[in-house]
């Protein structure tokens, strides 16, 4: 049964790609859940995360440090800290001054922010592709070999594990902590939460920071796995993650996780069955299908008309 | 002392003449148009480097019929809209000879304007066959065509690599798909069956599904039509996933970035490129002069750009006129010795003979020529 190996290989690849989509999708879905707007600069936040990881690894390697756990930790910490700062600044510069204005205006300022960040990196880092070494090469292989083989690289396992940890941490934070409760309250009714003494500005800033931190985690994982980063990478990844968020039900955190995984697996199998060139067609076709039957996404709550 | 003052006076007069756009014609202006900004700037640099070196060398030898050449640089960012703006500026500046543009997509709209306005354009880099297929008289190139590169690669595969199962992939864009289709047709003509012919998405990062498919089909040779970012990732992921196949690509993948991205997986990659003119002993003086400026003469478009300037200079000398129409007639009629070989043109403005050479890529070491002489 060679097909069973092929099937599992596709499943592994799909889940791998899907889990990174899910991480980025959370940034879109949390911001939407709370202020009802799409952060179009989120793809750029991801791209900046990958550059910070690159700079951290390159810097440490130049200083003569080459221990893998150290480099990985440094890349994660540097990327999460700096990227979160970017997330916070985006909220302060592009969203907070425009709070309460027409919904289209922050949309424009977010697109402007996205262009600004992309060109900032283009000018400071130049337009050539940069390469990040794969710190943990190799992998497990199951099956007799040749075409009948499932290869799971160590990096893919790291991606799974880190994604699951990050998701678990986020779920705990949202459901158990004080700030998490404040987030849920704001998502439910911002004005009421404000009246009850929650500093909504802080909560909104926090969602941007959490989204950026998870995008940074995804950026470190993706750049290490694929080994190359460039200033234009944010757009497509952002679009895919946004699709995942909508697919799962925008505004819902478990929805974003599920949407990412479904999208990744659908892409892997769609690419296999219809040809690689139709991968995106399958992904977006699936989105259209789901939205036809469940307009609010797989796990989304139906929109309640507010009076 | 007096002599120095006269030189200064003369320099001031020349500057004044240029500044006031006088048509005293002490110089012949050569426009160099290509990307100085944007994603393909590294290719644009090659073109500017080669053309400026040629202008310098010609001027040192006394210019063309006693007149010096003067470089005027334009940035089209490889953007078709900006290329049209550049072409209009060239017309306004009174420039009659243009070396450029670089990208096929920006060369095509610009060439319409040059042909209408009676300006000679010689591109050292745009390889799309369509550019010269519209019956224009003033448009030339010093580089080969996509439609010639595909057959060259296909014949090499069929004759020397002799693979068992072949896959041809492309990035669904004009350049990549054109070459890939030509390779497939040539292979089939030579009796080699193409097992997989598929497009991938340019800008994609994950090629696991296509690599899985190639593995299932037991492919041992892959031709990729497109550029280096995607092929680099495919090479890297193919190695990780244990696909044992030899890869080959066109000149769009043949630069240092491919080794940067693919790292060790770039070892053994085959690439069709124009001959390396910089290692030709006859061009040593030019290559050394470029190296002395701390620049790299090995890029594929440096010498074609050099030749384009020389072609203009020799065309003017042969026509004994600076009238672009007469110069174009002279270029069509003659054969011109340049660093990229003896150039002669067909009625369309394409080179009658342009050879692609197959190189093998080595990680951390210079590429080696593998095609038989």
And the tokens for A177? 């902590």
As beta bridge partners, residue B224 has B169
What is the domain partition of chain A in residue ranges?
23-233
As beta bridge partners, residue B345 has B351
pLDDT at A289 over 80: yes
Strands B270-274 and B335-338: unpaired
Q: Which domains, ranges and CATH numbers included, belong to chain B?
A: 2-143+279-344 (3.40.50.2300), 147-268 (3.40.50.2300)
Cβ contact, residue pair A232, B204, below 8 Å: no
Test the B interface: residue of A276, A282, A284 with most B CBs within 10 Å = A276
Q: Where are the beta strands (DSSP E) in A93-226?
A: 130-131, 139-145, 148-153
- B147-178 residue pLDDT tens: 788 888 998 999 888 999 999 999 888 788 88
pLDDT at B371 over 80: no
**ipTM surpasses cut 0.95:** no
B201 contacts on A by Cβ (under 8 Å)? 276-277, 279-280
Closest CA to A146 of B161, B247, B266, B214: B214
The better pLDDT of the pair A234, B257 is held by A234
Decide: A221 and A163 in contact? Cβ < 8 Å: yes
Chain B residues with CB within 8 Å of chain A CB: 38-39, 41-42, 172, 198-201, 203-210, 212-213, 215-216, 218, 228-229, 232-233, 236-237, 240-242, 257, 260-261, 263
pLDDT of residue B101: 92
pLDDT at A264 over 90: yes
pLDDT of residue B6: 59
Does A129 reach chain B within 8 Å, measured CB to CB?
yes
**Confidence class for position B19, pLDDT limits 50, 70, 90:** very low
pLDDT at B11 over 70: no
**Confidence class for position A34, pLDDT limits 50, 70, 90:** confident
Cβ contact, residue pair B209, A271, below 8 Å: yes
Nearest residue of A to residue B214, measured between CA atoms:
A147
Contacts of B309 (CB under 8 A, 6+ apart): B30, B50, B51, B54, B55, B58, B69, B99
- A161-189 residue pLDDT tens: 999 999 999 999 999 999 999 999 998 88
Cβ contact, residue pair A129, B257, below 8 Å: yes
Test the A interface: residue of B36, B43, B77, B216 with most A CBs within 10 Å = B216
Cβ contact, residue pair B263, A272, below 8 Å: no
CA distance B66 to B57: 14
Decide: B212 and A13 in contact? Cβ < 8 Å: yes
**Confidence class for position B22, pLDDT limits 50, 70, 90:** very low
Taken as a whole, chain A contains a residue count of 307
A153 contacts on B by Cβ (under 8 Å)? 240
**Confidence class for position B280, pLDDT limits 50, 70, 90:** confident
Which of A13, A139, A222 is opposite residue B208, by nearest beta carbon?
A: A13
Closest CA to A224 of A139, A137, A161: A137
Nearest residue of B to residue A275, measured between CA atoms:
B198
Q: What is the DSSP letter of B133?
A: S
A140 contacts on B by Cβ (under 8 Å)? none
Cβ contact, residue pair B41, A127, below 8 Å: yes
CA distance B343 to B351: 7
pLDDT of residue B296: 84
pLDDT at B291 over 60: yes
Decide: B350 and B356 in contact? Cβ < 8 Å: no
- Mean pLDDT value of segment A279-295: 89
CA distance A152 to A173: 31
The better pLDDT of the pair B83, B369 is held by B83
Cβ contact, residue pair A228, B210, below 8 Å: no
- Mean pLDDT value of segment A200-207: 93
Cβ contact, residue pair A151, B242, below 8 Å: yes
The better pLDDT of the pair A28, A307 is held by A28
- B310-350 residue pLDDT tens: 999 999 999 999 999 999 999 999 899 999 888 999 988 89
CA distance B218 to B193: 13
Q: Token pair 């970035």 is at which residue?
A: B257
Q: Token pair 């049964």 is at which residue?
A: A1
CA distance B358 to B288: 25
Does A272 reach chain B within 8 Å, measured CB to CB?
yes
Closest CA to A164 of A52, A46, A18, A264: A18
Count the alpha carbons within 13 Å of A150 in the hemisphere toward its beta carbon.
17
Cite the DSSP H helix spans in chain A. 2-35, 42-62, 68-90, 104-125, 154-176, 178-188, 190-195, 200-226, 233-248, 253-274, 279-293
């Amino acid at each position: 049964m060679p097909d069973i190996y092929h099937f599992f290989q596709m499943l592994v690849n799909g889940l791998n790609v899907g889990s990174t989509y899910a991480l980025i999708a959370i940034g879109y879905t949390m911001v939407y859940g709370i202020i009802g707007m799409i952060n179009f600069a989120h793809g750029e936040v991801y791209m900046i995360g990958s550059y910070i990881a690159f700079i951290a690894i390159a810097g440490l390697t130049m200083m003569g440090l080459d221990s893998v756990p150290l480099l990985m930790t440094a890349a994660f910490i540097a990327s999460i800290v700096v990227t979160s700062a970017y997330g916070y600044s985006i909220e302060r510069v592009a969203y907070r001054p425009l709070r309460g204005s027409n919904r289209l205006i922050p949309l424009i300022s977010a697109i402007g922010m996205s262009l600004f960040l992309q060109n900032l990196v283009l000018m400071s880092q130049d337009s050539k592709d940069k390469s990040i070494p794969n710190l943990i090469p190799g992998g497990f292989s199951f099956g007799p070999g040749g075409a009948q083989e499932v290869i799971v690289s160590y990096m893919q396992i790291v991606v799974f594990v880190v994604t699951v940890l990050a998701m678990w941490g986020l779920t705990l934070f949202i459901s158990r902590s004080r700030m998490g409760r404040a987030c849920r309250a704001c998502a439910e009714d911002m004005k009421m939460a404000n009246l009850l003494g929650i500093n909504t500005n802080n909560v909104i800033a926090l969602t941007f920071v959490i989204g950026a931190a998870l995008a940074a985690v995804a950026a470190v994982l993706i750049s290490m796995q694929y080994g190359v980063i460039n200033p234009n990478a944010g757009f497509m990844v952002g679009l895919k993650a946004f699709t995942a968020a909508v697919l799962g039900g925008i505004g819902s955190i478990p929805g974003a996780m599920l949407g990412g995984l479904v999208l990744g697996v659908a892409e892997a199998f769609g690419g296999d069955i219809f040809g690689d060139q139709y991968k995106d067609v399958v992904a977006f076709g699936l989105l259209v299908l789901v939205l036809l039957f469940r307009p609010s996404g797989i796990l989304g709550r139906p929109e309640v008309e507010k009076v | 002392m007096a002599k120095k003052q006269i030189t200064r006076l003369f320099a001031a007069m020349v500057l004044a003449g240029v500044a006031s756009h006088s048509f005293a014609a002490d110089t012949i202006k050569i426009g160099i148009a290509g990307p100085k900004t944007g994603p393909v700037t590294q290719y644009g640099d090659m073109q500017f480097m080669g053309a400026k070196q040629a202008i310098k060398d010609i001027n040192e030898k006394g210019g063309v019929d006693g007149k010096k050449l003067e470089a005027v640089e334009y940035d089209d960012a490889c953007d078709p809209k900006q290329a049209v703006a550049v072409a209009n500026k060239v017309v306004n500046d009174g420039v009659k000879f243009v070396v450029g543009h670089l990208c096929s997509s920006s060369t095509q709209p610009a060439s319409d304007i040059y042909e209408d306005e009676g300006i000679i354009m010689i591109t050292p880099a745009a390889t799309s066959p369509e550019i010269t297929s519209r019956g224009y008289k003033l448009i030339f190139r010093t580089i080969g065509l996509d439609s010639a590169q595909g057959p060259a690669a296909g014949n090499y595969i069929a004759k020397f690599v002799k693979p068992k199962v072949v896959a041809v992939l492309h990035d669904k864009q004009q350049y990549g798909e054109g070459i890939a289709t030509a390779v497939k047709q040539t292979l089939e003509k030579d009796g080699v069956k193409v097992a997989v012919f598929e497009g991938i998405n340019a800008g994609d990062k994950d090629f696991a599904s296509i690599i899985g498919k190639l593995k299932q089909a037991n492919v041992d040779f892959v031709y990729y039509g497109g550029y280096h970012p995607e092929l680099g990732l495919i090479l890297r992921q193919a190695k990780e996933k244990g696909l044992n196949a030899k890869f080959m690509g066109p000149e769009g993948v043949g630069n240092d970035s491919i080794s940067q991205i693919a790292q060790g997986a770039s070892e053994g990659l085959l690439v069709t490129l124009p001959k390396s003119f910089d290692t030709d002993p006859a061009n040593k003086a030019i290559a050394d002069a470029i190296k002395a400026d701390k620049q790299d003469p090995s890029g594929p478009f440096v010498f074609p750009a050099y030749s384009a300037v020389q072609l203009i200079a020799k065309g003017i000398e042969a026509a004994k006129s600076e009238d672009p129409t007469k110069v174009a007639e002279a270029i069509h009629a003659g054969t011109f010795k340049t660093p990229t070989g003896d150039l002669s043109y067909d009625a369309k403005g394409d080179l009658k003979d342009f050879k692609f050479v197959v190189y093998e890529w080595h990680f951390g070491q210079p590429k080696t020529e593998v095609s038989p002489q």
